[in-house]
Chain A
Amino acid sequence: MEDSTEDYDGERVVNAQEVYLLMNDDYKISRNSRINWYLSHLNSSSPISCHNEEGPRSLLDFNDKVVYRVTPSTVLMFLARAYRFVYVLDLSPSITAVDLHSGTVLLDEAFIKLQRSLKSLTKSFKLPGSEVKFVPKIYITVLCHTSLISCKENEVLLQGCLVTEENLDTILDQLRRDLESFENRMASSFEEITDLDYYEQAEGDKITFGLFEDSLDREDTSDPAMYVMSPEASFINLLRYDHSLFESLMMQLRHHTISCSFLQLGSGFQLQSGLGHVPYPELMEFIAEATNGVYYSKLPDVDMDVEGMLPLQQSILTQRLQKLLNISGFFMSQTPQDIPRIEISSQDENLVSSVHTRKHKERNLHISLSTLISCRLRDGYFIKNVSLIKGDSQIEVRLVLPWRPGVNINCVAVSVWPINANKCLSHIEISVEGSYHFITDITSHLKHKGFHNSYRVGLVLTYWQTIQSMSESDELLVHLHSFAANVVNYKVADSLKQGVPLFYLPPNQTSPQVNIQLSTKDNTLSQFATFWKPVLNLDINIWQKWMHTHRIGFILEHDVPLGKHLHIPNSSGRFHNATCRQASAALNFFLRDYSTFVLMENHSYVTLLPRDEDKPPWSFFVIRVASKPPCVVLRLAFLGDTPGHVRDEIITDLKKQLSVLRFLQRSPKKDDKNKMNISRRSSRHELEVKKHIPPLQRVSSEIPCCVLTSKPVEKILIR
């Protein structure tokens, strides 16, 4: 763990080689805070101590005489207290092939691999350099994926189950039995298909295409918030079908911070393997690599006597800040059987087999290095290395995005060192490295559009889209972070403060307009609107690239009284719907009141931080209402760099307020605001006392508006 020592104020200062940081239990430690922690400790004159600031916690075994220092070569590893793993067992028909090497049917091997990996994961271990015994909580879900549509067996063998060393054997026994019964069901439905055309070919349309060997895919996330795997294990389908969906698949994995590991079944490619069954490990290795997962072609049995971390734990449980680059694995050797190179002493480099680099652009961005890096990290980049250059006056961070097998997009970010909070300027340089053929393809496309082949054209187009969206994303990032720099951006006009929305959506139009109620001629207002318009237009599917996002989901209370014709048709034979207008109105009122100003009614609300009006705000957050009553989801997006605890406080507070939100008073005479405040303050108490009022007898101000849900139920709603 240590490599060199020097004295620091009489104490021994040790340059740390590896630092393990244990992440907080309560809320997620964002990539921003990880980067900030790293940058603030890098070569810092105040070495790491065991007392911890907010954010990650160091697990070092401290003794008073030694202090550790983080250097550019120090490897940071983050450990979480809880992990969730989803095992997806790929049980397409080829799982019944016989593997000659191991002498088993692949299906039998699937269970063995599952067993071994679970054993490794649940084993408690001591961290290197410490005596602390560490047992993270491991929650697992096991899904079977079969392409046999006629197979009706339940595909979920286990859901969200906490696995420990103690209950492992019971769980494994259960899994074994479930898997056996699953196999029997598959076999019987397979029989139906093969009966049609016995020795020949099973009906293709009943079964979807498969990727032969691939085995168990595993997805893990240390994010303690839940993540629902779509029921049809769409991930595998994506893998199986075509690579056209590859890009969106990778994007989803990256945005949700899901790392994806593979356990290979069978012994890989052999000439004598069955017709049509040729594994493509490179693709899976790449997916694993690009999502911070691991591809295991072999998984040895677990040695339970080891005290430290097992290799599997090391690679799956720890998240490195800097990507461990192994040359062979990372840049996959393209042509293992390529022509043995002839040594040619001329200076001409061989064009074909070497890796080529093409520079795209250089530019300066007015954002801090840490903001830039964390945005890149969320885009899927890894930190390759960090170095101090030009006599320690500048810091250079090399980032790399594994884009396709054999193609990397590189980004070099340079900023002044030590980082100056007031002077936010980063210089970036983007380049791509790939094989000669790839580089020629993308560049020749620039000149004359096109090849005749769709896969190839698709690849080139996707590439340019990636590059394009990257610079757009940079611009947006700069835009969002220019918030605090200009007073105009946060000076809220009085009319806005009173709840007049800044934008509205004119009927029959798709793009929002500045509200005509406001004096549109006002120059500051138009500047103000220019700043906030991109915020309004943020795509909530990808806005986690720039912002910290959270969701609060709840179900609205229906209107009272209910329509009479809910269950019995009215005279014209129609039914009434259960509506939630009252609750929606209450929610809108509440949000208008809660936020600093309204971007667009029933759509977006902005709150400046701190909410104290005397001080200039340094940040803001947006509440976006995605409402499909009765299900409503509030999506919150905080500007990057907002500390986790601040966000946590706000979320908790908002949730609390929502849970005590009541229907609006029927009589509109009284001041709404006042009423709400009163009801907010007193309701909890009242609720406890008058718990047993039958629903029909409640006055409207006693009816709670919403029921908070913790699972994203809106995803399974039938619309």
Chain B
Amino acid sequence: MKEVVVHPERCVGCMQCMIACATAHSKAKSLFAATLESPLPKPRVHVGVGQYDEGFPNRCRHCDPAPCLLACLPGAISRDLSTNTVLIDPDRCINCATCAMVCPFGVLRYHEEGSAPPGKTVAVKCDNCIGRQEAGLAPACVEVCKSGALTFEELSEAMRRKTNEISRTVSVAAEPQDLSPGFSLLNTMKKSLIQVRTG
């Protein structure tokens, strides 16, 4: 099973994932038509800024066990085992915000949604683009990400690669090496700009 893996050190904060996500969850599935829809489609991945303006694509981790799933009052949250996705049923959701209270990552938002009953405010979060996956497509945020901050791959494969990368850097003989020098440079520049500005 492929899953979305986040590589925060590679995020430049361009927010294209947010646009792609909102579009993927629109009725029209095209950006320009989506902007005319009501309710306006909204992203379910949220690019936040760090202390030094670094970007960070914050999306649902689909935790297991998931605190939101356990705490949901009306039992509106469930897990799809085939894609390991924590899903919210907008019809059962009562907009009580208990999920926001227990989510350690702050990924929930509350608004009207194209897939919810009309006029109803519901909890909304990443659904791993489960519809796109059924059609053989990768989640929209991954597809659009240009910097490799979001990948869609077997978790075991991603972990093996990361383990190898780390193990090459920890030996006493190894030169200290930056695994993503371009991104580190960008983030260093952002940090110095802020430090210059704030003294």
Pairing of A with B: no
Point out residues on A near B: beta carbons under 8 Å: none
Point out residues on B near A: beta carbons under 8 Å: none
